[in-house]
A = this chain, B = another copy of it.
Amino acid sequence: MKQTATSSSIEDYVKVIYAFTEWQDKPITSSVLATRLGVANSSVSEMVRKLKDLGLVDHEPYSPIHLTAEGLSLALSMVRRHRLLETYLVQELGYTWDEVHDEAEQLEHAVSDHFIERMSAKLGHPVRDPHGDPIPDAHGNITMAPSHRLDELDPGHTGRISRISDHDPELLRHLESLGIGLDTQLTVVGRPRFGAGLQVRLDLSENDAGPQTLGDEVAASLWLASVGRHADCTVQELTGGSLMSPHSAQ
Contact = CB atoms under 8 A, between A and B. Distances in A.
A94 interface: yes
A106 to B, nearest CB: 5
Contacts of A115: 89, 93, 103
B110 A122 contact: no
Determine the interface band of chain A, counting residues with CB < 8 A from chain B: 10 to 19
A110 B106 contact: yes
A181 to B, nearest CB: 21
B112 A103 contact: yes
Copies in the complex: 2
A201 to B, nearest CB: 37
A99 interface: yes
Interface string A101-140: 0110011011110110011001000000000000000000
A79 to B, nearest CB: 18
Contacts of A107: 107, 110-111
A122 B106 contact: no
A92 interface: yes
Contacts of A92: 92, 122
Q: Is the interface of A mostly helix, strand, loop or mixed?
A: helix
A169 to B, nearest CB: 13
B114 A99 contact: yes
Interface string A35-64: 000000000000000000000000000000
Given A109-B110, A110-B109, A110-B110, A119 B93 contact: yes
A112 B106 contact: yes
Interface in A11-31: none
* A89, A93, A94 — most chain B CB neighbours (10 Å): A93
A94 B118 contact: yes
Interface in A61-90: 89
A106 B99 contact: no
8 contacts: A89-B115, A92-B122, A93-B115, A95-B118, A103-B112, A103-B114, A103-B115, A106-B112
Given A92-B92, A107-B110, A110-B110, 8 more contacts: A93-B115, A93-B122, A95-B118, A102-B112, A103-B111, A103-B112, A106-B110, A109-B110
Interface of A: 89, 92-95, 99, 102-103, 106-107, 109-112, 114-115, 118-119, 122
